[in-house]
Chains A and B, each alone.
Chain A
Amino acid sequence: MKPFSYERAASPAEAAAAAARRPGARFIAGGTNLLDLMKLQIEVPSHLIDVNGLALDTIEPTPEGGLRVGALVSNTALAADPRVRRDYALLTRALLAGASGQLRNKATTAGNLLQRTRCPYFYDTAQPCNKRRPGSGCAAIGGFTRQLGVIGTSDACIATHPSDMAVALRALDAVVETVQADGATRTIPMADFHRLPGETPHIETALQPGELITAVVLPRPLGGRHIYRKVRDRASYAFALVSVGAVVQPDGTGRVALGGVAHKPWRVEEAETELPRGARAVTERLLAGARPTRDNAFKVTLVERTLGSVLAEARG
Chain B
Amino acid sequence: MKFDTPATTNPIDALKVVGQPIDRIDGPLKTTGTAPYAYEHHGEAENVAYGHVIGAGIAKGRIAGIDTAAAGRAPGVLAIVTAATAGPLGKGKRNTATLLGGPEIQHYHQAVALVVAETFEQARAAAELVRIDYLAEPGAFDLRAAKGSATKPKESGQTGPVDTSVGDFAGAFARAPVSLDTTYTTPDQSHMMMEPHASLALWEGDRLTLWTSSQMIDWWTDDLAATLDIPKKNVRVVSPFIGGGFGGKLFLRADALLAALGARAAGRPVKVALHRPLVPNNTTHRPATVQRIRIGATREGDITAIAHESWSGDLPDGGPETAVNQTRLLYAGANRMTAMRLAVLDLPEGNSMRAPGEAPGMMALEIAMDEMAEKLRIDPVEFRIRNDTLVDPEKPGRPFSSRPFVECLRLGADRFGWSRRDPQPARRREGRWLVGLGMAAAFRNNLLMTSAARVRLDAEGGVTVETDMTDIGTGSYTIIAQTAAEMMGLPVGRVTVRLGDSRFPVSAGSGGQFGANNATAGVYAACVKLREEIARRLGFNSADAAFVDGEVRSGNRAIPLGAAAAEGEIVAEDAIEYGDLDETYQQSTFGAHFVEAAVDSATGEARVRRMLAVCAAGRILNPKSARSQVIGAMTMGVGAALMEHLAVDTRRGFFVNHDLAGYEVPVHADIPHQEVVFLDETDPISSPMKAKGVGELGLCGVGAAVANAIYNATGVRVRDYPITLDTYLDRLPEVA
Residues of chain A touching chain B, judged by Cβ–Cβ distance below 8 Å, are 1-3, 39-41, 118, 120-121, 123-127, 139, 142-144, 146, 229, 231-239, 241, 298, 301-302, 305-306, 308-309, 312
Contact = CB atoms under 8 A, between A and B. Distances in A.
Contact of A39 (B124, B607, B643, B669): B124
A122 B472 CA distance: 34
Contacts, number: 104
A168 to B, nearest CB: 19
B449 interface: no
A298 B725 contact: yes
A91 to B, nearest CB: 21
Nearest to A121: B656
A146 B602 contact: no
Interface in B240-292: 277
Contact of B656 (A41, A120, A142): A120
B371 interface: no
19 contacts: A1-B124, A2-B128, A40-B277, A41-B128, A124-B656, A126-B58, A127-B57, A127-B652, A143-B651, A233-B642, A234-B642, A234-B664, A236-B668, A236-B669, A298-B725, A298-B729, A302-B604, A302-B729, A305-B602
Interface residues of B, number: 42
A238 B664 contact: yes
A309 B729 CA distance: 14
Most central of B277, B656, B725, B730 by chain A CB within 10 Å: B656
A46 to B, nearest CB: 13
Interface in B647-672: 647-649, 651-652, 656-659, 661-662, 664, 666-670
Given A144-B656, A301-B729, A233 B602 contact: no
Contacts of A139: 649, 652
B605 interface: yes
Contacts of A235: 607, 667, 669-670
B121 interface: yes
B432 interface: yes
B726 interface: yes
Nearest to A239: B661
Interface of B: 55, 57-58, 75, 121, 124-125, 128, 277, 432, 600-605, 607, 642-643, 647-649, 651-652, 656-659, 661-662, 664, 666-670, 722, 724-726, 729-730
A143 B652 contact: yes
Given A1-B121, A235-B670, A144 B603 contact: no
Contact of B729 (A234, A237, A305, A312): A305
Contacts of A302: 603-604, 725-726, 729
A142 B652 CA distance: 10
B520 to A, nearest CB: 36
Contacts of B432: 309, 312
A229 to B, nearest CB: 7
Contacts of A234: 642-643, 664, 666-667, 669-670
Contacts of A142: 651
Nearest to A309: B602
Contacts of A237: 667, 669
A213 B661 CA distance: 27
B626 to A, nearest CB: 27
Contacts of A118: 661-662
Contacts of A298: 725-726, 729-730
A40 B607 CA distance: 33
A302 B729 CA distance: 8
A238 B643 CA distance: 11
Contacts of B648: 144
Most central of B75, B649, B668, B730 by chain A CB within 10 Å: B649
Contact of B725 (A121, A144, A241, A312): A241
A301 B727 CA distance: 12
Contacts of A239: 661
B668 A144 contact: no
B655 to A, nearest CB: 9
A146 B726 contact: yes
B725 A231 contact: yes
A120 B670 contact: no
Nearest to A162: B661
A82 B602 CA distance: 31
A144 B647 CA distance: 7
A141 B602 CA distance: 29
Contacts of A238: 664
B658 A124 contact: yes
B662 A120 contact: yes
Q: List the 7 closest pairs (A to B, CB-CB), nearest first.
A: A126-B57, A309-B602, A235-B669, A236-B669, A298-B726, A144-B647, A144-B656
Nearest to B122: A3
B432 to A, nearest CB: 6
Given A1-B125, A298-B725, A298-B726, 19 more contacts: A123-B661, A124-B656, A139-B649, A143-B652, A144-B647, A146-B726, A231-B605, A233-B605, A233-B722, A234-B643, A234-B669, A234-B670, A236-B668, A237-B667, A238-B664, A302-B725, A306-B602, A306-B603, A312-B602
B643 A233 contact: yes
Most central of A1, A139, A305 by chain B CB within 10 Å: A305
Contacts of A309: 432, 600-603
A142 B124 CA distance: 31
Contacts of B668: 236
A308 B604 CA distance: 13
Given A1-B124, A120-B657, A146 B647 contact: yes
Nearest to A238: B664
A195 to B, nearest CB: 24
